[in-house]
Structure 1
């Protein structure tokens, strides 16, 4: 399985097309349509559309029985305005492919082109273009889809580009590589009053002032070990923009982050107890909800061994880098079904960070990522 120079030109053009049309989590209709159109000439033996939302699974069957190998990319962009002079910059105001999912998808498109020319000798290669990674709902929806059982993998692999790591260098390690995280939304309700007589109402302001530092104090970060915990207050709203009214309602949004799912359970209990106690002491009612729920992502040793072999055979430099990462990734859901591993592909030491408004996936990474995955498929499926 080899990609030609013409293939690379097509893949770069495809990546830039996706970059111009970013769609947010659970809205990836056009992106999925572009992927299906690119896949069509490769003649997959089966395409499953609408998987877990707008996901697509392309299946390439081998001639003999064997394992099923799943390789995943993501479809969604971010609600961030792109700052760029590039001709392929986002054409959608307020949205951008500023995490590199367009590049990851182009890498899998390259695999599809190679598999279209040469099927595996045995087993099945499944290319999964997953929706809704950015809000943590996509992988959960995919594995919950009844049709996922029809492609149940024996191994799952993925990559993510990583600015700050030397270009083309790979970070790969066994064990936890991405933190668990979730968004905690706290709504406090009291009673309005005239601003000249605030004592006649029930304001959430004192509780907000108490909770902001108290929540942060539950987790200050520190070493990324099993005791790691971090709470980041990301949004606060109190009352309405009026000078004459003492407020009755407030919201606090915070992101909770731990190294493991077990740690997240403990942190949630502590955070909810803190909030309920503070609200009760001031006579406020409170509502707590959770969104953007990511389980921790863990690399299985046997899956890591296959990636290390492929990296060595392709001459791609690698080590454990600075893994694990604080950032979250919903690929961990696949690791609960079968051995799985993700590697991190360097975008350059001084490259703009992920989610920055000036980030743009480096096109030269497409060939490197595709080579590693093609070698992995060849080693496992022949």
Structure 2
């Protein structure tokens, strides 16, 4: 989220009071709550960086011999979350330790830009994955164009992330208090002519980082579940023909897999960021009331909970979307390499033994038992 759109405790983002203000100046301190926040943030940094590096290694390996388009999406998501891990988390932890900004004005502007770019990229790539899942279910025959479509959407997501973060380069700057304080901070103080200008900027960041991605994700997965329910209820897969048993048996599996994944995706996004953004909304419109009723420790907890989403993303998409074991070269899978999914369905494949035997063809079993020997293997949608 944009540093200027968060409660004052985020990154010790202190700014001097208004000239007409009557409140005494309060400098940030390295409180016990801040110490816990630093320790947990460093732990999340190690966990998130490790998980996302593992995902990048898995999806970028050559163990599977093929590159489904979902691997491209997962690679970009891991890259975005890794950017969050190496920019947002260490910066926040170190800033809470030093209390003031010690890296200079140029680093202030650049790091604030990279921090917001990372947050935008993580949210937008998540939206791209939701749109891809929707297209895979609603338009399965267009799977041949999925890779080109995903590349275009990913390119748009990164361009938007870089463009929307540009204001950070001009809004943030360093301010230094002369003796007796000698205190320097990276802040947006004095960058907005009117107070409502800052509120508007905060609301735009809130809409782009949380509200719009949430609405798009919910709509996509709602359409997915409705479409699968419609197909299951229409009797399209109720044929008793042995050659259709694969689709009839695998559609429920695909439905359950998509249901579980959609619930985890949407739930993790909502649970991780909703409390913190609601607190941010309260601070933007009623800052004094929030500071009087909410302890700084709670803001620390909610921010850490939001960062945990960067750890959940690689776990969620790795477990529910593609088999990561192939990327690690896991020896638990033997036999011939997996065949790519059919362009017509993109969701399942059947072994030759599941096809009805043809009369007069040598080497093929013609008994009824051969027709009943159905072997289906689901692949990523």
TM range (shorter): under 0.3
Computing the radius of gyration over CA atoms, which structure comes out larger, 1 or 2?
Answer: 2
Q: Which structure: greater helix fraction?
A: 2
Give 1 or 2: higher strand fraction.
1
> TM-score by structure 1 length?
0.26
